[in-house]
Amino acid sequence: MRSSALFAVGLVVVACGSSNSDGGGSGGTGGTTTDSGVDSSTGGTAGSGGSAGSAGTAGSAGAAGAPVDAGTDGDAAAAAWHLPQCTTVSGTSAVTFTSDDGATLAPVSGVLTGTVYTRGLVALEVPNVLLAASGSNLLRSEDAGCTWSVVDSLPSSIMTLNRGVGDRAWGFQDNDAALVRIDAGTATQLKEPVPNIIGFGADPKNADRARLGGSDGTLWETTDAGVTWSPVGSKPSTGGNLLAYRFGFDPQDLDHVLFGAATIGAWVTFDGGKLWKKSTGLSTGNANAFEVIVSPIDSNVVWAEGIDMVENLANAKSEGRHIYLSTDGGQSFTKVVDHDPGTVTLTNGVLLAPSPADANVVYFEFGTYFQAYGTDIFKFDAAGKNLTQTHNAYDDVSAIAFSPADAKLLYFGITSEQIN
């Protein structure tokens, strides 16, 4: 469950439709700003998606139409991917997909019950193969997300997944010690170098090389597929006690790392931790940086979410909660989305999912089981200064992945929080 509440000051918030749930609030409307957008990066031309199906009965998600295949992309692996050739998901109730930013969702098999988190969800380089970590189950689909099966068990029920090279992925439990390497659907538990992992990055070209960050501020590297780990670089010179939240690794360059922590805000390194620089723009004083993530297609673009403690202590309407944007690799940030109670909700550690097709775009969400509220899916476009919103009846969406065939097709990892 995620709590606390946000609005984009100077943004246009547009309600994009709902998915048959009661209690979903639509977004309000703000004015326009003069914030500059981000240069987008484009790949090959993708084919168009199919039309969305009609909504189901109240309380359940509408059926997503089956999109057509995407056109040829410049990357060979992406070109071999196709969009889901189905309108419903079978084999699991933990993963669904949408082609309209969450306005309609593909129906799934059964109903997710109890307390189950689907924190891990990745589309692999192997065409049409996805992995999901739902509870302690490792799920696998080999047909672009239409059918799923349990292929292995995991050492933790709340694992995050990172895509590796080929049919490899990595998994870790946030702020804990569980660490696995996944090859062709088989999970191998690894000896972690630190007791609490708060970030992971996989080399996009060398399958055996990866890095991770610990809550003590240290960076570690493996070059033998996780069998052994060695320290790299140094800790950020923050001074005093350290309460770390997140390491964010550049998917294209593991030497480029962001570090987010309580009070001291964010720090950035471009040389693997040899030299750290404090990021500016989060606050005129202290700031908490809960999430930091680098665009998968533009290393200059970094998104962050946190609290400006100066505004928080001044009882600002936003409570000091913002999503921030950097266009210089994380050296400086600008506030682009603000928390506004009743309209847009930002919590401590919002899921941020940057688009792999447009560096201007990031998705985020707010979901809760409380009073059967459901989940808001937000899409922010820095180029147009627009914030759009859809709603669904699920307790939460804990992971978002993009189809390599067409980034407009989103996969959602579903969470159930039935707490007595």
pTM for this predicted structure = 0.82
Handedness of CA 32, 38, 42, 46 (dihedral sign): negative
Tell me which residue of 96, 71, 97, 95 sits closest to 82, measured CA to CA. Answer: 71
pLDDT recorded at residue 418: 81
Residue type, 261: A
pLDDT recorded at residue 20: 37
Residue type, 249: F
Tell me which residue of 319, 361, 307 sits closest to 343, measured CA to CA. Answer: 319
pLDDT recorded at residue 172: 98
Question: In the chain, what are the domains?
Answer: 12-417 (2.130.10.10)
Burial class (CB in 10 A: 0-12, 13-18, 19+), 57: exposed
Sequential pLDDT tens for the chain (420 residues): 443 333 333 343 444 443 333 333 333 333 333 333 334 333 333 334 343 344 433 333 444 444 444 333 445 455 699 999 999 999 999 999 999 999 999 999 999 999 999 999 999 999 999 999 999 999 999 999 999 999 999 999 999 999 999 999 999 999 998 999 999 999 999 999 999 999 999 999 999 999 999 999 999 999 999 999 999 999 998 776 789 999 999 999 999 999 999 999 999 999 999 999 999 999 999 999 999 999 999 999 999 999 999 999 999 999 999 999 999 999 999 999 999 998 999 999 999 999 999 999 999 999 999 999 999 999 999 999 999 999 999 999 999 999 999 999 999 999 999 875
Please report, to the nearest 10 degrees, the dihedral formed by the alpha carbons of residues 318, 244, 197, 349 taken in order. 0
Residue 227: phi and psi, rounded to 5, are: -70, -45
Query: How far apart are the C-alpha atoms of 416 and 406, rounded to whole Å?
Result: 28
Query: How far apart are the C-alpha atoms of 346 and 99, rounded to whole Å?
Result: 24
Bridge partners, 138 (sequence order) = 133, 152
